[in-house]
Amino acid sequence: MVKTRFDAVLTSRVLRWSVGLAMSLCFNANGACAGGARTAPVTLRLDPYVILQQVARQMNVTLRPDVPLPKIFLESSTPLRQFQQAIASQWKFRPHVFANAYAAERNEIYLSDDARYYKKRNRTLDDSLAHEFVHYIQLRYRNDDLSEEWCETEAIAQQLSFIDNNAPTLVASVAG
């Protein structure tokens, strides 16, 4: 399918609008705009490499030692400026708050570890990492175009599958 310049501009605008909306929801949900006190950060229940292996298996991808692993940065120990610099060119704007994201150019994963975010959504840091690992695999192993809408759809589906496969461990994480 050939995209016209109009389609490309429209897709870019829709993507920027969607990311902006997601950022504002994250911003409000985390209480940052309300000036609320930050809760203790959440931690991973599973080893990051175990999460990556599970996601790769779900996606029928064999991990290779010649493909560099992404570095993982958590909001509680990473300056907002670093996140902004890593993601600005990819998102075509400089976000004002930290969000979960895979910075493709730098091969870095950024994760919010704010407990309020995960408790409110009944989610975990582990499943957020699984989601970002999907994007890593899409780009580094399959050379997918991450700007395609189906990439996000696949990442969500794989994240839900990861949650289903790890329910007992992850439920304990949310409850604890």
CATH of the domain at 34: 3.40.390
Residue-wise pLDDT for 34-71, tens only, equals 345 567 899 999 999 999 999 999 999 999 999 999 99
| Coil/strand/helix, residue 73 | strand
Q: Show the domain range for 36.
A: 5-175
* Cα–Cα distance for residue pair 140/69, rounded to 1 Å: 9
Contact 131, 156 (CB under 8 A): yes
Longest dimension (CA), the chain: 51
- How many domains would you assign to the chain? 1
Contact 57, 130 (CB under 8 A): no
pLDDT computed for residue 166 by the predictor: 87
Shortest CA distance to 137 belongs to which of 112, 123, 124, 154?
Answer: 154
* Cα–Cα distance for residue pair 162/131, rounded to 1 Å: 9
Q: Which residue has the tokens 């175009």?
A: 145
Which residues of the chain are under the pLDDT cut of 50? 1-14, 16-35, 173-176
Which amino acid is it at 80?
A: L
Q: Which DSSP helix (H) or strand (E) runs through 10?
A: helix 5-29
What pTM, to 2 d.p., does this model score? 0.77
Contact 27, 33 (CB under 8 A): yes
